[in-house]
Structure formats: C-alpha cells, structure tokens
Amino acid sequence: KGSLKPAPTALSFEAVPVNRLDAITVPPGYTARAAFAWGEPLLAPYPAYRDGGLNSAAEQALQIGQHHDGMHYFPLESGPRGSAHGLLVMNHEYIDQATLHPAGATVDAEGRRPQEEVDKEIAAHGVSVIEIERRGQEWTIVRGAYNRRITGATPMELAGPVRGSRLARTQYSPDGTRTRGTLNNCAHGFTPWGTYLTCEENWAGYFVNTDAERPREHARYGIGAASRYGWEARHPRFDASRRADDAGGDFRNEPNTFGWIVEIDPTRPDSTPVKRTAMGRFGHEGIVFGTPRPGRPLAFYMGDDANNEYIYKFVSRDRYVPGRADGSLLDHGTLYVARFDDDGTGEWLPLDIEDAGFRAAAAAAGVRFADQADVLVNTRLAADVVGATRMDRPEWGAVDPRSGEVYFTLTNNAARTPGDTDAANPRGPNPYGHIIRFSEDRGRHEATRFEWDLFLLAGPEGNSLGPDGEALDADNILASPDGLWFDHNGLLWIQTDMSGSQLASGPFGNNQMLVADPVTRRMKRFLVGPVGCEITGVVTTPDARTMFVNVQHPGESGSSHWPDGAGRRPRSATVIVTRDDGGVIGA
C-alpha cells in the first residue's frame, strides 16, 4: 500500500451530513435525479406504470421489477460513446406487497393467495436488462431489442457438477438439467468476458416443507413450514414437502435448484441463463473476481449473508485466456471457504471430495457426502465440517484494482455473544458491522494462504474505528455496511443497509453511501437516501462521469413518496449522479 499513489481523485467534495429527508442528498456541485423506477415499461407494447398497484401481472412482466439492488453497466460502443450508450443490468431482490398490489396482499375464502397477485409478485422479481442512452445530461431507456426481463419463472440451465445429479431431478426436469426462475437476487457480479452474474440470497423463504423430518439440504438453509409469500398455493413447485399421492413425483428437489450464482449474457436477449453450480449453494450475496492474469486461474470471491456464515472463493481449473474465456470456466474448479486465524493470517480450505483433507474432516465430523454434487448442494454443511470461520454476515466483496487486496463488508451480527468473538469478528453482539480485507499470498488470487486486517469498525463516534485508525466522526459515521465497490480510480464506495431502530432513531440518519480512499485512508459521506430506503448497487460509466446508484424500497419503514412526490406510492429507482462541471464523480 505504501508504494501506491493516492487516487487521482481526492475526495475534495463537502461531506453530506446525516439527515432524514425524503430526498436524495448529494454534495454541493453534484446533481442526482431518479430514473428507471419500478414499473417503467421495458418491453412492447410498453404498458405505462400506474400508481396504486394497478398494473396487471402480465404488464409487470414487461416492466422494470421492484426492489432494485446490485447492478452493472456494460458499454455497447467503444471509446467515449461507451459512456453514453450501454446496458444497465440490475437485480430486483424482493417485493413490497403493500405497494405492488392495490390493497396489499390478500387471500381468498380458503386462505389462498390469489393467482394474479402471486404471478405479479413472481414477475416483479429477477433481473432487468435495460438499454440506456445519454443525450446531453438526460439518460433515457432505448426501446430496442436488448431490453429483457428475467423473472422468478424464466427457464434456466443447470451447469457444473450438480447438473444431472439425483439431487437436481424434479418433476419439471426429470434429468436434473433445468429449472425455472431466479429469486432474491441481492448483489451481483460480472465476468471479464462481459456477462452478468446474479446471486440468489434469501431464496429459502420462498419454499415450504411441512414434513416433521426435513432433509439437510432444506434444514441447513432454513426452509420451514411457512413461506414468505404463500406462492405454493398457486405453484406447487414451491412446496418441497414429501407427497406420496403425487403421481408425477413431488417437488422435494426444487429448492436444490436455488442458491446458486446465475450467469446471464446481457447482449443475447434469447440466451438461457445458466446456474453455475461449481460455485456453491448458499445465501449468495454477491461475487467479485480477483484481478485477472492471462495464463493463470481466475478466482471469484463470494459471501454467504446470514449470521455466522462464511466467505468463499472459487478458483477455476482452467487458465484465463483473454478473448477465449467463456462461462465454462465457471464449471470446473475448486471451491474454498475461509478460515481467519487470530494472528492475522488465514487459509482457504477446499470443499472438494477429491481432497484427502476434506474427506478426513467430513469423516471426523460423521458427515457423509456421496459425490461433489452432494458437497455443493450442501455447501454450508461442507464448510461447517472443515472448521471455517463463522463471520458477521458477509455481504459484498470488492477487489482494489491497484493493490489486489480483497475487501468484504460484514454487515452486523445480532447472534454473536460476548464470549464468542474472534479477532476477525471482534464484537459480540455486533450491531454496527465492520469491513475486513485480505491480501493473498504473493498477490496471487489462487493462493491458499492470506494475511488479513480490519479496514474499519462501523458505528457512532464513541464506538468505531475509521480507516485512519481514529474514531469515525460526523462526516463518516455509518452502520450496517453492505454494498461495496471499487471504482476505476481505486476509490472504495460503501453503502449501508440499516433497519429497525438503528435506522429509525440512530445517529446515522437514513441509509447512505460513503467513499474511502485506501491510500490516504480518508472517508466521507457522499449521498443520503430518502426515508425508509436501502442504498444498494453502484456503478459508473467507464469515464467515471455518470454514476448509477440504486435506491431500494423507499418507505419500507416510515412514510416516503420518493421519487414521484406527494400522494403517490414510493418506488425503488436508480439515481443518476453527475457533477455540474462534468467532472469525475468523487474527485
């Protein structure tokens, strides 16, 4: 780090104070405007958004989904035009029934959710591919052939070791090669070959299993007797209970086709999304690759966001060759889980049935795995048996483009007790969260050893530690860090996902985005969101002069009318941030 020059940008803007306004606040000299909101028409015949939850399920399937989250910008042209015309691809993590439907969630006389509501909810999930173009300072949606909605019902392929496994065979796909839909897509990633990766996080809550005994591939992920939205009433595939009377077979393996990294080619609207099973099955928050080196394996870092879950790494078997790489690189390789030792070093532990150490650990724990597909479907259990470090809810990762260091947000952990802390998770309970970082041995992302330290401890002025080793102050206090992204200039953008009393009455105000320079170790608050929202998802155009930031579920708590104004329902949307002098964002 000492040898790196400070980022060319210098955080010269005025820090935004904490606030509880129902608006976006950015520093003086910047402008923020909302665009690409939930319900905006994307596909022909372009049904207009109707306030009051009045759009039908069929219309929702042609419109931008709800609850914007991770996103990436893919330029469609080379050179400067690439920063004026591209594909913005974004996740829609979940839904808010109160705003989605005219009168919120309802049930019929038999207590079942209505078909139309369920289908609208499924259509509001997934991913949007949005072709956008800038004319002057205005970005608009191009009504062209790239626009696409991927939903909770879109047909998908399974690839990697679980493809064809007995654990993936369902009534829909008796040979275990296909599934339908992607759900609870929180953060995201992309690949060096220009595809989008969407991550399935809290998918378990969409299924039920009412059996007294549930298999480990359900139980370890929290599938229980009730689902979040009751979709099983209209789509039996969401009921993973054993049903002896079902002539066509039951749906016990349906949840095994969720919990994966899903690869989408945004430039081919007719392509089938592919679930890459070699990368493990858990509550996938996001995914980020280590600096690609031609002729070496490619590594991807991933967090499992739940109390006391783990940080993982996938290292490809095949070597990365620019221009030749494609998604098959993600089908062969080694999945590792991290152990952080108290001396500031750590080790990547392979979850590989071919590895003698892994087999010995499983045997010692009394756990049997039939094959690598069984290991992958039960990734959390495999990580348990090798003694990985239980973390404070791993959310987004980011790789410093200059130093190669890997950063992860650990958002908070209400379940950690005072007697159960370790050096990497030093607070019990941990209501504020922290950011950990590590350097791979000899700077190689495929290494199995690393060194780590804590980049910051979030919290109020009296209970925090900033990147500079001092307590945080009014310009940069934060809690529950979640979104994390390195821009092209080596600045680290940090987004928050506070909720409950921390959001309602803490010293931190509304959810927000800050920016840190790891070299100068300075950090400032850049943006504060409207009431009751989460700020999640950030990317810029390649010229770093347009920034896109997602605002998820304004009004989820408190009362918001953002962005449409008084009398209208709140909507998730993208905020477009520019500098009034046309300069680089964050400078």
* Chain contacts with ligand FEO (rule: CB under 6 A): 93, 186, 201, 285, 305, 395, 482
3-state SS assignment for residue 450: strand
Closer to ligand FEO at the Cβ: 301 or 320? Answer: 301
Matching residue, tokens 């129902």: 22
Matching residue, tokens 């400032």: 524
Judge whether 363 and 452 are in contact, CB under 8 Å: no
Residue type, 566: A
3-state SS assignment for residue 212: coil
186 binds Ca ion (CB under 5 A): yes
Closest contact distance (angstroms) between CB of 430 and Ca ion is 14
482 binds Ca ion (CB under 5 A): yes
Closest CA to 392 of 433, 423, 452: 433
Q: Where are the alpha helices (DSSP H) in 467-569?
A: 500-505
Closest contact distance (angstroms) between CB of 52 and ligand FEO is 27
217 binds Ca ion (CB under 5 A): no
3-state SS assignment for residue 501: helix
Closer to ligand FEO at the Cβ: 119 or 534? Answer: 534
Closest contact distance (angstroms) between CB of 199 and ligand FEO is 9
In Å, how far are 72, 119, 121, 273, 538 from 152, measured between CA atoms? 20, 9, 9, 12, 24
Q: Which stretch binds Ca ion (CB under 5 A): 55-63, 211-219, 530-538, 541-549?
A: 530-538
Closest contact distance (angstroms) between CB of 533 and Ca ion is 9
Nearest position to Ca ion, beta carbon:
497
Closest contact distance (angstroms) between CB of 315 and ligand FEO is 24
Closest CA to 511 of 492, 533, 491: 533
Q: Which residues contact 188 (CB under 8 A, 6 or more apart)?
A: 69, 70, 71, 72, 89, 90, 91, 196, 197, 198, 199, 286, 287, 537
Closest contact distance (angstroms) between CB of 1 and ligand FEO is 28
Q: Rounded to an integer, what distance in angstroms lies between the CA atom of residue 127 and that of residue 117?
A: 19
3-state SS assignment for residue 555: coil
**What residues form DSSP beta bridges with 524?**
515
497 binds Ca ion (CB under 5 A): yes
Q: Which stretch binds Ca ion (CB under 5 A): 6-14, 417-425, 496-504, 577-585?
A: 496-504
**What residues form DSSP beta bridges with 349?**
337
Closest contact distance (angstroms) between CB of 75 and ligand FEO is 27
Closest contact distance (angstroms) between CB of 395 and Ca ion is 5
> What is the per-residue DSSP string for 64-102?
--SSEEEEEEEESSSGGGGGTEEEEEEEE----HHHHSB
Judge whether 271 and 239 are in contact, CB under 8 Å: no
Closer to Ca ion at the Cβ: 421 or 499? Answer: 499
Q: Which stretch binds Ca ion (CB under 5 A): 23-31, 128-136, 422-430, 491-499?
A: 491-499
Calculate the CA dihedral of residues 532, 536, 539, 545 and round it to 10 degrees. Answer: 20
> Which of ligand FEO, Ca ion, none sits in contact with 239, Cβ below 5 to 8 A by type?
none
> Which of ligand FEO, Ca ion, none sits in contact with 534, Cβ below 5 to 8 A by type?
Ca ion
440 binds Ca ion (CB under 5 A): no
Q: Which stretch binds Ca ion (CB under 5 A): 50-58, 145-153, 269-277, 495-503?
A: 495-503
Judge whether 24 and 485 are in contact, CB under 8 Å: no
Closest contact distance (angstroms) between CB of 391 and ligand FEO is 12
- Give, as one character, the DSSP assignment of residue 124: H
Closer to ligand FEO at the Cβ: 306 or 523? Answer: 306
534 binds Ca ion (CB under 5 A): yes
Calculate the CA dihedral of residues 265, 313, 302, 395 and round it to 10 degrees. Answer: -160
> Which of ligand FEO, Ca ion, none sits in contact with 374, Cβ below 5 to 8 A by type?
none
> Which of ligand FEO, Ca ion, none sits in contact with 201, Cβ below 5 to 8 A by type?
ligand FEO
Closer to Ca ion at the Cβ: 392 or 534? Answer: 534
Matching residue, tokens 């080790």: 347
In Å, how far are 191, 316, 323, 326, 524 from 300, measured between CA atoms? 9, 9, 18, 14, 29
Q: Which residues contact 438 (CB under 8 A, 6 or more apart)?
A: 346, 405, 406, 450, 451, 452, 453
Closest contact distance (angstroms) between CB of 522 and ligand FEO is 27
Closer to ligand FEO at the Cβ: 90 or 162? Answer: 90
304 binds Ca ion (CB under 5 A): no
Closest contact distance (angstroms) between CB of 393 and ligand FEO is 7
> Which of ligand FEO, Ca ion, none sits in contact with 400, Cβ below 5 to 8 A by type?
none
Closest CA to 394 of 359, 340, 433: 433
Closer to ligand FEO at the Cβ: 33 or 228? Answer: 228
200 binds Ca ion (CB under 5 A): no
131 binds Ca ion (CB under 5 A): no
CB burial of 510-543 (b: ≥16 within 10 Å; e: otherwise) equals bbbbbbbbbbebbbbbbbbbbbbbbbbbbbbbee
Closer to ligand FEO at the Cβ: 517 or 534? Answer: 534
Q: Which stretch binds Ca ion (CB under 5 A): 26-34, 42-50, 203-211, 476-484?
A: 476-484
Closer to ligand FEO at the Cβ: 263 or 497? Answer: 497
Closer to Ca ion at the Cβ: 303 or 490? Answer: 303
Closer to Ca ion at the Cβ: 540 or 550? Answer: 550
Closer to Ca ion at the Cβ: 94 or 455? Answer: 94
Closer to ligand FEO at the Cβ: 463 or 499? Answer: 499
457 binds Ca ion (CB under 5 A): no
Closest contact distance (angstroms) between CB of 245 and Ca ion is 39
Q: Which residues contact 139 (CB under 8 A, 6 or more apart)?
A: 35, 132, 133, 546, 576
Closest contact distance (angstroms) between CB of 490 and ligand FEO is 25
Q: Rounded to an integer, what distance in angstroms lies between the CA atom of residue 438 and that of residue 406?
A: 5
Kindly list the residues in this chain that would bind Ca ion in the complex (CB under 5 A).
Answer: 186, 482, 497, 534
